[in-house]
Structure 1
Amino acid sequence: MTTISPAATWAQPGPPAPLTATTRRRPATVPLWWRDASGVALWALLVAVTCLWVLHGGVHDLGGLGDGLTSVGRLTGLLASALLLVQVLLMARVPWFEQAWGQDELARTHRLVGFTSFNLMIGHIVLIVLGYAASSDLGLWGTTWDLVVNYPGMLLAVAGTGALVMVVVTSVKKARARLRYESWHLIHLYGYLGAGLALPHQLWTGRDFTASPVSTWLWWSLYAVAAGAVLVFRVGVPVVRSLRAPLRVSEVRHDAADVTTVTVTGPGVERLAAHGGQFFQWRFLDGPGWTRAHPYSLSAAPDGRSLRFTAAHVGDGTERLASLRAGTRVLVEGPYGRLHQGVRTRRKVLLMGSGIGITPMRALLEDLDHEPGDVTVIHRVRDTGSAVLADEIAALADERGGRYLLVAGPRVPGRDTWLPVAAEHLSDADALRHLVPDVADHDVFLCGSPGWMEAARAAAISAGVPEEHVHLERFSY
């Protein structure tokens, strides 16, 4: 293994300073079977939908060309509808799903399910039109016009399809990169409209929706559960919490020209039961734009009295933070995310953060139960002047017997790596083993830019850390 001198300048300990510890509520361990149960439920739903299609003559109708196309089109439509509702549930902020998967994995699964559902929906439209045209004298375009104009609920379905197309097109990575977060988020809400507009044609003309009491019960239940989850967890719970225990900005601190730390206090803080490493969706009632929520990770462990986050200015929403005033009313959704002590499985922990991604690592360091020597923090920055919260992290590490290593310098050009140029002679895994020789015995928590996290994750796994012991949270999907 390649080694370097311990005195190398690319990894430096930060300066210690005194801090006062606070007693905190500990998160419950997240049961692993929750993930398995939710996965089984998804596949069971798709199997149930397929079985009902078979029972309602789906296979029997495959004989002729027209009937066969129509029958397969029915199946693709049923699966598309089921997956569309699964999409809604995945992002409905249901606590059990959040705790089992984390917002990161839920969002990635939501994206995969969404594109699958969309492709099935397109297949449904094409197959149904071709199937009806094969059994009609109207021809392809005449049949299309007849279906849209004369069948109940079809005009609404066309409008719903248009809304879903708009959502999918703007979710393609190249298109997403050209949109501001605020614009993308607003467009994405049309997915709810698309799902709602599709319901009437399914109930009025969908043979498989009304063929039996079991089918009718199943589909109405699915729509009710999806709608109920959104109304309860995305609307009801945040509104009730905000009305019962209002939160307000108590301090705004400018850590740098492009970095702001905001502290929020109020009687509702303790009820939120947040933990270091998690994030909230924040809304500040300070004028135009308050309706759009933004995800910010906590940069200090909650103490029952206040919540604090630190954010870099990377768009309209974050730039507004610099002008916030004390007393501004705050609405929050959360807490979300799995970067907390509840997913920890090992005594030793490595916390790695890049840039502003160090903020949840700082909160985790403060929140973790650990003995001296158990925790190491690696803080990756472009230069020491941009090391946000470095003094605080160094003080916490010194006070609690942890190690804090500041890894500074521009990234190695032309290479997917988490390392600076000063360490380019090392492989990513060798450098990690040099800094933390027993890294294979650690839980590893990561937060930073997507490319940096992937490189750090690959390095940890290559250094012997089992994949299930690497925990990360992405904010871009």
Structure 2
Amino acid sequence: MTATAVPPVRERSATPRWWPGAGASAAVLSLLIVTVLWAGNGGPAELTGAGAITAIGRLTGLYASDLLLLQVLLMARIPLVERAFGQDRLARWHRLTGFTSFWLMTLHIVTITVGYAAGANALTTLWDLIWTYPGMLLAAAGTLALVMAVVTSVRAARRKLRYESWHLLHLYAYLGVGLALPHQIWAGADFTGTAWARAYWWTLYLAAAGAVLAYRIGLPVWRNRRHRLTVSRVVPEGPGLTSVYLTGERLAELPVRAGQFFHWRFLNGPGWTRSNPFSLSATPGGDELRITVKSQGDGSSRVAALRPGTRVFAEGPYGKLTGESYAGEPVVLMACGIGITPLLSLLGELPYRDGEATLIYRARGEEDLAFRGELDWLASRRGVRVVPLTGPRAGRASWLPSSLATHGDVEALRRVAPHIAASRVYICGPEEWAGAARAAALDAGVRPERVHTELFAW
């Protein structure tokens, strides 16, 4: 957004409300199908005999495989899925299905080994299974890759890793899925026992592989060849804060809305292979895009050194922090730190009336409040009420600074935004802060479907 005009709002159809329910139903249906296929291959009959442990091992292995493939589909960045759920919700489900499939896989390994051992040494049996059964050596390697992905996804481990390192290690989950496929086809009776089983599992594997190839690789390559983004200029915005302006071809045709983000790679030397997620900080619609980056890790620190003309590879757009469901209500936007960027973009796009938008901007100090000129313009030209809240964090989980810690979260929100209960609320910031802000908005009477969040977490 510039200080002279507001870009026109891009008209895009809202996501049908039945999509999320249909997606969740499809996931449950897949588990039911797996159960029916297992039952059709004699599974229930074995539960009452000596092979009960092995039968349980077969079923847990099938569930683990199904959830693992659903996990791949969740994060394959399929546009319809992204629009229906948004990356925040998809990331939560991805973690839930990932950990669930891992523990089911562990149970599968234990029960199959114990069942085949039949009272003999289980470790010896496991070793024999790995070395003598078709595809089991590859499956063991795949299991190790999945273990590494799971271990580095535990919150305590993630806090000690740079985003770039975590992202690279996490990609080994794809390797794990690929290495597990041969053992399931060659040695898995439940995969090959019937024509229906073969059709189901091959369809699911090909769908997961096709989605990754099409939407993680094919679509980004096509869009980047079409739009050819390059850095046009780099502008310091404040301490450790840098804006990057990008130009390209046919940007008006790029299917992006205010509030969304891309995964960016700057092709200027070492580190170009690692992508970082940054939101647009200006309303799209003209001949430029803008992102604003806070220097935190290796990828974000490189941004300040970018030079005009640097080629850029972008994947996206992603995210549901958009105005697609906005129906003209008053608007309350709550930002913490660099979370101001997508909300600033939204302020330029949403067609709110004069005086019906409130921006609550949380920062550590006055010097950390960025985009003062643009915020002053929005206040004077569009009637946005800007409420800066500065100071260190409160001693409890709260969206308020310590100077206001004596006030309740809900009471303070109602004072700052008296019309909060009738508003549509957009929240962006660190995970704990955003959770406190969302809880305050809901307790203040905002309907859940009117609260939209984007978390700056991974």
Q: Which residue of 235, 240, 260 maps to 1:278?
A: 260
1:175 and 2:157 aligned: yes
In the superposition, the TM-score normalised over structure 2's length comes to: 0.97
The percentage of aligned residue pairs carrying the same residue is 51
SS of the residue 1:59 aligns to = helix
Further displaced range: 332-341 or 414-423: 414-423
CA contact under 8 A between 1:272 and 1:334: conserved in structure 2?
no
Give the residue type in structure 1 aligned to 2:385: R
Structure 1 distance, partners of 2:122, 2:391, is 63
SS of the residue 2:26 aligns to = helix
Point out where structure 1 has 5 or more consecutive residues left out of the alignment: 1-16
Q: Which residue of 70, 83, 98 maps to 1:114?
A: 98
CA drift at 1:382: 1.6
1:88 and 2:72 aligned: yes
Aligned to 2:382: 400
Give the residue type in structure 1 aligned to 2:317: P
Structure 2 distance, partners of 1:141, 1:460, is 54
Q: Which residue of 235, 255, 265 maps to 1:253?
A: 235
CA contact under 8 A between 2:339 and 2:456: conserved in structure 1?
no
Structure 2 distance, partners of 1:140, 1:405, is 65
Aligned to 1:386: 368
CA drift at 1:384: 1.5
Q: Which residue of 97, 102, 116 maps to 1:132?
A: 116
SS of the residue 1:108 aligns to = helix
SS of the residue 1:404 aligns to = strand
Structure 1 distance, partners of 2:267, 2:252, is 21
Q: Which residue of 52, 77, 81 maps to 2:61?
A: 77
CA drift at 1:273: 1.6
Give the residue type in structure 1 aligned to 2:415: H
CA drift at 1:420: 2.0
SS of the residue 2:152 aligns to = helix
Give the residue type in structure 2 aligned to 1:55: G
CA contact under 8 A between 1:19 and 1:396: conserved in structure 2?
no
Residues 202/351 of structure 1: CA separation in 2 closer, same or farther (3 Å cut) = same
CA drift at 1:268: 4.3
Residues 13-162 of structure 1 aligned to structure 2 (within 5 Å) = 19-65=4-50, 67-134=51-118, 139-162=121-144
CA drift at 1:30: 1.8
CA contact under 8 A between 1:346 and 1:442: conserved in structure 2?
no
Structure 2 distance, partners of 1:53, 1:397, is 63
Give the residue type in structure 2 aligned to 1:182: E
Further displaced range: 429-438 or 241-250: 241-250
Q: Deviations over 1:107-146 (max 9, x none)?
A: 1110010000000000000000001111x7x532332122
CA contact under 8 A between 2:334 and 2:428: conserved in structure 1?
yes
SS of the residue 1:292 aligns to = coil
Structure 2 distance, partners of 1:328, 1:42, is 42
Aligned to 2:334: 352
CA contact under 8 A between 2:340 and 2:361: conserved in structure 1?
yes
1:166 and 2:148 aligned: yes
In the superposition, the TM-score normalised over structure 1's length comes to: 0.93
SS of the residue 1:334 aligns to = strand
Give the residue type in structure 1 aligned to 2:252: E
CA contact under 8 A between 1:281 and 1:334: conserved in structure 2?
yes
Residues 175/18 of structure 1: CA separation in 2 closer, same or farther (3 Å cut) = closer
SS of the residue 2:331 aligns to = strand
Q: Which residue of 184, 195, 199 maps to 1:202?
A: 184
Aligned to 1:4: none
Aligned to 2:403: 422
Give the residue type in structure 1 aligned to 2:114: L
CA drift at 1:400: 1.4
1:437 and 2:418 aligned: yes
Structure 2 distance, partners of 1:139, 1:459, is 57
Further displaced range: 148-157 or 398-407: 398-407
Q: Deviations over 1:396-444 (max 9, x none)?
A: 23211221111222222x2111112332221011011011112000111
Q: Deviations over 1:207-266 (max 9, x none)?
A: 010111110010000000000000000100111111233110011001123110001111
